[in-house]
Chain A
Amino acid sequence: MDISLILELVTASVLGAVLYTLIGIAPGTDETAVLAPVTLVLVLTGFEPIVILAFFISAIVAKKLTDSIPVAVAGIPGGVMAAPMVDHAMVLKKHGLPEVSIRKMASGSVIGTLVAVPLSLLLASVIAPFGDEIKNYASQIFFGGAVFLALMAKNRWLALAAILPFAILIQGLRHLYWGIGIVPEGTTVFTSFFLGITIGPIILKLFELLNRDIRNKLPRYHKKEIKLQRSKKEKGFPNPFKILDAKEVGTTSFASLTGVLTFFMSPVGMTIFLGETFSNYIKDPVKRASRAISSMDGLTNATYIAGTLVPLIAIGLPLSPMAIGPAIALFKAPPVFTEDHNMHHLLSMNEFVIATVIGAIVAISITYFITIKYAQQICVFVFKYIPHEALLGVFFGLVLMLAYMDAGWLNIAGVLLIGIVAGTLHRWGVNYGVQFMVLYSAPWIMSWFM
């Protein structure tokens, strides 16, 4: 390990932290949609795996630290994962304590990271010996995962009924591309289909805008009103162990530990369940709310880190909601990474540890510091100068490019088709998890009929 590589890791981590500090604040940014495409492009561009891992870890830690800021300041979740915290943050805001929210959440995040990094590495080395065994049943596991997640979904029978048709759509397009010769037979189009699913809800909405009846019936809104409470300046370097009281540190650590052990479960579900469990018995609304948000933030951060690292180090297959969502590009980004040749195979345990630790430390020191000190200023900057349209444009542009890269012009229409179907399914309550699992197991599902 030479100095220049360490410098590269630090640079990548700084970039990840800064970029995702800003993105984390932008309202409504889904983790998968903002992390997967960028990571994917970095992988395909040919950066060293270890550099990408440092970037990614730094990005998720930074994103998790900041996506709670708009929740606290304006009651708008900065991401899907921040949604369960809105109610509690609103309690604190109502009591005039938005900056308390931010500090408690950010400190919860830091503790989550501190607990999750060593524990995930440990858990990964415990599971690792069984990795190869698990791998032999990958398709079956993904199919089982699709069925399991479908059964857990709100509309379980709908989700279950959608599995086979959706698999047909995916495999059908692949065979069409092979048939007309725009993709060499045996090359599986994956990346752009994945992104089509990710931004499906947006693609569906865009198509609906082309329909005059729907367009005229859409609810219209005024400008989004954001009320901000002027906050006091924090002095000195913040210390999470001072910002949280002993009980909060305890609950948050325990929640984070649970988050690591349940890395294969849905983070949103676990967050709501555990956050409420750990805080329900507290009577004082302010204390209950701050206990809930600190432990929830710790837990989501821990599930994120564990959900990425454990499958990556131990198995090499994306067997967690986190791995099959935001972290997907670390596992599969053909032609650079495939199931048999990805970070799992390329990095040694030492390299995993170094990249993770550097990424986490850089993100915490930059983002935690900034978050606590300048939360409000950053919020104002993002809300004032970054139009939502530009964010949507960026992701649309990225998807077009990757679609073209995968299989030429025709695939842009193919990805739009997948987006329409996936967006409709998503709206009906068939969540990303089910759809991604189907994307993975589609070839195996189709092989039943051969």
Chain B
Amino acid sequence: MKQKPMEEQDTQSEQYIEVWEDVVRIKDLVISLIICSITTLGGYLIAPNEPPKPLIFGLVGTVLGFIICSIIIKPKRTFEYIGEEE
């Protein structure tokens, strides 16, 4: 519990870490990994056991996971337009 004040400070200013050339929030990353793993593997496992259906279900799960994550997680990027407006 001692570390709490520090962590709180962190969350206010610089809270993101870099993974694969872009910044992410650890909590969101964990959520995304869990969601995509469940939808993908879940799709694979519930599919009828005749190839290639499991793979197709798995892929659909992946797309589903991607869409869910894109909706519930906000990208960590800010925009600024510079120069003249057209």
**Residue of A with least CB distance to B51:** A46
Q: How far is the CB of A87 from the nearest CB of chain B, in Å?
A: 17
Interchain CA distance A401-B55 in the complex, whole Å: 8
Q: Is B75 an interface residue (CB 8 A)?
A: yes
- Which B residues are CB-close (under 8 A) to A28? 20-22
Q: Give bound CA distance, A230 to B18, whole Å.
A: 28
Q: Which of A205, A227, A389 is in CB contact (< 8 Å) with B32?
A: A389
Closest to A216 in B: B3
Across the interface, A401 reaches (CB within 8 A) one of B40, B76, B80, namely: B40
Interface size on A, residues (CB 8 A): 52
Are A385 and B70 in contact, CB atoms less than 8 angstroms apart?
Answer: yes
The residue from B18, B24, B31, B80 contacting A219, defined by CB atoms under 8 A apart: B18
* Interface residues in A40-78 (C-beta closer than 8 Å to B): 41, 44-46, 76-77
Q: Which residues of B contact A397 (CB under 8 A)?
A: 33, 36-37, 39-41, 61-62, 65
Question: When chains A and B are docked, how far (Å) is the Cα of A404 from the Cα of B55?
Answer: 11
Contact A393 B65 (CB under 8 A): yes
- Which residues of the other chain, B, contact A226 by a CB distance below 8 angstroms? 77-80
Q: A219-B18, A220-B14, A387-B73 are in contact. Are A393 and B35 (CB under 8 A)?
A: yes
Contact status of A44 and B55, CB under 8 A, knowing A385-B75, A389-B73 = yes
Q: How large is the interface on B (under 10, 10 to 19, 20 to 34, 35 or more residues)?
A: 35 or more
Q: Are B69 and A388 interface neighbours, CB within 8 A?
A: no
Residue B1, interface by CB 8 Å: no
Known A-B contacts A385-B70, A404-B44; A229 and B83 likewise in contact (beta carbons under 8 Å):
yes
Assess whether B20 is in contact with A220, with CB atoms less than 8 Å apart: no
**Would you call B31 and A389 a contact (CB within 8 A)?**
yes
A232 to B74, CA, bound (A): 29
A410 at the interface (CB under 8 A from B): no
Residues of B within 8 A of A209 (CB): 17, 26, 29
Contact with B80, one of A218, A227, A233, A387 (Cβ below 8 angstroms): A227
CB distance from A187 to the nearest CB of B (A): 15
Known A227-B80, A389-B69, A394-B36: A222·B58 in contact at CB below 8 Å:
no
Which of B20, B44, B52, B80: most chain A Cβ within 10 A? B20
- Is there contact, CB below 8 Å, between B75 and A400? no
Q: How far is it, in angstroms, between the C-alpha of A396 and the C-alpha of B70 when the chains are bound?
A: 15
Residues of B near A206 (CB, < 8 A) are 33
Of B15, B29, B80, the residue contacting A389 (CB under 8 A) is B29
State the CA gap A76–B69 with chains docked (Å): 23
Chain A residues with CB under 8 A of B84:
230
- Identify which of B23, B31, B40 contacts A224 (C-beta below 8 A): B23
Chain A, residues 389-405, CB within 8 Å of chain B (1/0): the string is 11111101110110011
A residues near B23, Cβ cutoff 8 Å: 221-224, 388
Cα–Cα, bound, A383→B18 (Å): 16
* A183 lies within 8 A of chain B by Cβ: no
25 A-B contacts (beta carbon < 8 Å): A28-B20, A28-B21, A44-B52, A46-B52, A206-B33, A219-B18, A220-B10, A220-B15, A225-B77, A225-B80, A226-B77, A227-B81, A229-B81, A384-B77, A388-B23, A389-B25, A389-B69, A390-B36, A394-B62, A397-B40, A398-B40, A400-B37, A401-B55, A401-B58, A405-B44
A residues whose Cβ falls under 8 Å from a Cβ of B: 27-28, 30, 41, 44-46, 76-77, 96, 201-202, 205-206, 209, 215, 218-233, 380, 383-394, 396-398, 400-401, 404-405
